[in-house]
Copies of this chain bind each other. A is one copy, B any other.
Amino acid sequence: MLVRTAADQMPRLNSPSETALAGGSSPIYWMGEFTYKRDAEIYGEKEPAEYVYQVKAGAVRSYKLLSDGRRQIGAFHLPGDIFGLTDGEAHWFTTEAVIDTTLWLLKRRSLETEARADSILSRRLISITTRNLQHAEDHVLLLGRKVALEKVATFLIEMDKRLTSADVITLPMGRRDIADYLGLTVETVSRSLSQLGRAGILTFIGDTHHREITILDRTQLLSLDLQ
């Protein structure tokens, strides 16, 4: 269940029980709750994978860097999302809090132990990984074959689905993050958003950084989000 508060415009979960991992034959006990300040690193690429995480509130970006500093964000993790699940010993991503973020942590080892005996949990782990894979594959299509405006439209629709309960999308991330997610520059993202605004498809709400957006014409926006 998603709850919207006036104070922070981000969705928030109230307990880890309402999640993909809970509800197996035996309940999962999260280690506890940790809070990360904006831009704080949660774990780095090639660090040993000790924990699995679920977002309680906030937003997380996971990215890779090329040696010369170019950055590609693979995914944003929003309330309810589980991340950090890996097979080998090490992560292959860096993750950071986009805004102040609260996470639930779970020892990976105990999850693995549990999964050995619990085939429902096991199935669930496959399911989570598969969902991540599907997202990545959709993202591959976007990055490889969509033009800038289509990328931004797809992004807005994804965010609209994932973090709005009202008609205002409050983006937790800035233009830089969006650009690195879509394989564009900040300028191109900004120009595309302006273009959508001029076309009457969306409008910016009062917010200073133009991170509050209302979709005015979903039909037109969807027509840009080819399937």
In the assembled complex, A127 has its CB within 8 A of some CB on chain B: yes
In the assembled complex, A161 has its CB within 8 A of some CB on chain B: no
Residues of chain B lying within 8 A (CB to CB) of residue A115: 119, 122-123
**Docked-complex contact B141 and A72, CB < 8 angstroms:** yes
In the assembled complex, A129 has its CB within 8 A of some CB on chain B: yes
Q: How far is the CA of A70 from the CA of B145 in the complex (A)?
A: 7
Q: How large is the interface on A (under 10, 10 to 19, 20 to 34, 35 or more residues)?
A: 35 or more
- Tell me which of A68, A122, A144, A145 has the highest count of chain B C-beta atoms within 10 A of its own C-beta: A144
Q: How far is the CA of A183 from the CA of B144 in the complex (A)?
A: 4
Shortest CB–CB separation between residue A226 and chain B, in angstroms? 4
In the assembled complex, A108 has its CB within 8 A of some CB on chain B: no
Query: Which of A's residues lie within 8 Å of B, judged by CB?
Result: 64, 66-68, 70-72, 74, 86-88, 92-93, 115-117, 119, 122-123, 125-127, 129-134, 136-141, 143-146, 180, 182-183, 226-227
